[in-house]
A = this chain, B = another copy of it.
Amino acid sequence: MHKDINNHFNKGDFLDNPIGSEIYNLAEKLFPICRSLTGDGVRQTLNIMREECPSLTLFEVPTGTAAFDWVVPKEWEIRDAYIKDLEGSTVLSFKDSNLHVVGYSAPFNRELSREELLKMIHTLPDKPTLIPYVTSYYKEYSGFCMAFNDVQNLNKDRYRAVIESELKDGSLTYGEILIPGKSEKEIFFSSNICHPTLANNELSGPCLSLYLAKRAIAQSRSSRYSYRFIFIPETIGSLVYMSRNLEKMKENIIAGFVVTCAGDNRSYSYLSSRRGDTLADRAAKNTLNFTHQDYKSYPYLERGSDERQYCAPGIDLPVCSLMRSKYGEYPEYHTSADNMELISPEGFEGSYALYCKVIDSLENNRTYKAVFLGEPQLGKRDLYPTVSYSGSAAGVRDMMNLLAYADGEVDLIGISDIIKVPMDELSRLAIKLESAGLLERK
Q: Does the CB pair A136–B387 fall under 8 Å?
A: yes
Contact of A313 among B235, B274, B370, B400 (CB under 8 A): B370
Q: Given known contacts A134-B387, A328-B390, is B315 in contact with A374 (CB within 8 Å)?
A: yes
Judge whether A369 is part of the interface by a CB distance below 8 angstroms.
yes
Q: How far is the CB of A343 from chain B (nearest CB, A)?
A: 18
Q: Does the CB pair A404–B312 fall under 8 Å?
A: yes
Interface residues of A in 357-396 (CB under 8 A from B): 369-370, 372-377, 379-380, 384, 386-390, 393
Interface of chain A, helix or strand or loop or mixed? loop
Q: Does the CB pair B314–A138 fall under 8 Å?
A: no
Q: For the complex, what is the distance from the CA of A352 to the CA of B380, rounded to whole Å? A: 39
Q: Does the CB pair A389–B312 fall under 8 Å?
A: no
What number of copies of this chain does the assembly contain?
A: 3
Interface residues of A in 225-246 (CB under 8 A from B): 235, 238-239, 242-243, 246
Q: Does the CB pair B388–A313 fall under 8 Å?
A: no
Q: Does the CB pair B334–A389 fall under 8 Å?
A: yes
Judge whether A304 is part of the interface by a CB distance below 8 angstroms.
yes
Chain B positions within 8 Å of A376 at CB level: 68-69
Q: Does the CB pair A373–B312 fall under 8 Å?
A: yes
Q: For the complex, what is the distance from the CA of A18 to the CA of B246, rounded to whole Å? A: 58
Q: How far is the CB of A334 from chain B (nearest CB, A)?
A: 4
Identify which of A102, A136, A334, A389 gathers the most chain B CB atoms within 10 Å of its CB: A389
Judge whether A40 is part of the interface by a CB distance below 8 angstroms.
no
Q: Does the CB pair A135–B242 fall under 8 Å?
A: no
Q: Does the CB pair A334–B374 fall under 8 Å?
A: no
Identify which of A314, A333, A393, A405 gathers the most chain B CB atoms within 10 Å of its CB: A314
Judge whether A160 is part of the interface by a CB distance below 8 angstroms.
no
Identify which of A69, A133, A334, A401 gathers the most chain B CB atoms within 10 Å of its CB: A69
Chain B positions within 8 Å of A315 at CB level: 373-374
Q: Does the CB pair B136–A388 fall under 8 Å?
A: yes
Interface residues of A in 314-331 (CB under 8 A from B): 314-316, 328
Judge whether A300 is part of the interface by a CB distance below 8 angstroms.
yes
Chain B positions within 8 Å of A55 at CB level: none
Q: For the complex, what is the distance from the CA of A403 to the CA of B384, rounded to whole Å? A: 55
Interface residues of A in 118-154 (CB under 8 A from B): 122, 124, 132-139, 141, 143
Chain B positions within 8 Å of A380 at CB level: 138
Q: Given known contacts A141-B386, A390-B328, is B68 in contact with A373 (CB within 8 Å)?
A: yes
Chain B positions within 8 Å of A138 at CB level: 377, 379-380, 384, 386
Chain B positions within 8 Å of A390 at CB level: 124, 132-133, 328, 333-335
Q: How far is the CB of A142 from chain B (nearest CB, A)?
A: 11
Judge whether A57 is part of the interface by a CB distance below 8 angstroms.
no
Judge whether A309 is part of the interface by a CB distance below 8 angstroms.
yes
Judge whether A48 is part of the interface by a CB distance below 8 angstroms.
no
Q: For the complex, what is the distance from the CA of A389 to the CA of B308, rounded to whole Å? A: 18
Contact of A242 among B139, B246, B374, B408 (CB under 8 A): B374
Identify which of A69, A311, A374 gathers the most chain B CB atoms within 10 Å of its CB: A374
Judge whether A1 is part of the interface by a CB distance below 8 angstroms.
no
Q: For the complex, what is the distance from the CA of A372 to the CA of B309, rounded to whole Å? A: 11
Q: For the complex, what is the distance from the CA of A376 to the CA of B66, rounded to whole Å? A: 12
Q: Does the CB pair A370–B312 fall under 8 Å?
A: yes
Chain B positions within 8 Å of A375 at CB level: 69, 235, 239, 308-309, 312
Judge whether A406 is part of the interface by a CB distance below 8 angstroms.
yes
Q: For the complex, what is the distance from the CA of A179 to the CA of B407, rounded to whole Å? A: 33
Chain B positions within 8 Å of A124 at CB level: 390
Q: How far is the CB of A359 from chain B (nearest CB, A)?
A: 26
Q: For the complex, what is the distance from the CA of A246 to the CA of B406, rounded to whole Å? A: 20
Judge whether A418 is part of the interface by a CB distance below 8 angstroms.
yes
The 4 A-B pairs with the shortest beta carbon distances in the complex, nearest first, are A139-B386, A313-B407, A138-B379, A334-B390
- Other than the known A69-B376, A301-B418, A313-B370, what 15 A-B pairs have Cβ atoms closer than 8 Å? A68-B376, A69-B377, A69-B438, A132-B389, A133-B389, A134-B388, A135-B389, A136-B386, A138-B380, A139-B379, A139-B387, A312-B403, A312-B404, A313-B408, A314-B373
